[in-house]
Amino acid sequence: MLGAYRPWRSVLSNDPVSGAAPGRAAVSGSAVTATLAAAAAAAAAIMRKVGVVLVRHGETRYNKAKLLQGQGVDEPLSQFGFKQAEAAGKFLSNIKFTHVFSSDLQRAKQTASTIVLKNSHGSKLEIICDARLRERKYGIVEGKPLNELRAMAKAAGQKCPFFTPPGAETVDEVQARAEDFFNHLCQLLMKITEKDSAPEQLDKVADDSGDSHTSLKNPSCVDLNGSDINDDNSDTPVVNVLIVSHGGFIRQWVRHFVEDLQCLLPQSFDESKVFSVCPNTAVSSFTLTFNQVVSSSPSIICNNLYNCSHLDGITL
């Protein structure tokens, strides 16, 4: 005859029934609390946060005159464009950038250099130029008025952002460049953050805590309360990346983040403007959270999108 049924009780209760599984010694409440704390610490250890700041280059004479530059017109910053870049540099001066990437067109390179020179953590960071960060190629309309492109799009029965003039890149081709660069960046960041991971700690805690092994190996919860990358707290990313690019490219980057990667936008942001061309030196910042165990795209939170507050009061 089977023994009397003994109901399961929490090991944290004061009930004389310990609730210990067959073959295991009773576990004290303090031991369970310590194990849970260690498990939480190990779970946090496999999540790595990275700050990414995306800035459009400063104004050029062509921007001022509403002329299309694309890739064929390599125009430098205007005097006002340099002032915008300096203002952006001051605005971002307290962020300790670890990596800087720029389009190889000079308006972007000059903006990146100006921002780095204003950084309070050091002005000798290497700027890595990457052709994938270039503006969209506009073909036969490069150097011509924006209104000419709009007229061509209207005549073709298409909306201007999606119209492809002869010799130009399609919007999909620009987005493919953005995705390719982002995938390259993720691989780089994963290698950097892996240096601080502690898989042996994860396995030890999992072994000590029995059933928690599965949940730690496949964590289902990601911290969605992303902090601004300027915040000085334990959640602040130790890796911060600055990227300087162009309006057309940034629009497709944001589109990839929002539509493909389910990036969370600031609650106060007007979503009708998400895919607008951002102003010169507008700042967008994102927090990326990488899972060190599960190989997948990072979770992404947008902290600021097209922020231009640093330009208040800037004049020639």
Residues 227/233, Cβ–Cβ less than 8 Å: yes
Among residues 59, 86, 99, 135, the one annotated as catalytic is 135
Q: Of 316, 304, 275, whose CA–CA distance to 55 is shortest?
A: 304
E strand intervals along 80-151:
99-102, 127-129
Q: Is 142 a catalytic residue?
A: no
Name, in order, each residue with C-beta under 8 angstroms of 192's C-beta and a sequence gap of 6 or more.
Answer: 98, 239
First to last CA, the chain: 95
Residue type, 124: K
Picking from 34, 35, 17, the residue whose alpha carbon sits closest to that of residue 26 is 17
Element of type H or E holding 287:
strand 283-291
Angle between helices 106-117 and 79-91 (to 10 degrees): 40
Residue 169 known to be catalytic:
no
Q: In angstroms, how far is CA 290 from the centroid of its own chain?
A: 11
The dihedral sign for the CA sequence 67, 71, 75, 77: positive
Residue 19: how many CA atoms within 13 Å on its side-chain side?
13
Tokens standing for residue 21: 């599984």
- Catalytic residue annotation: 57, 135
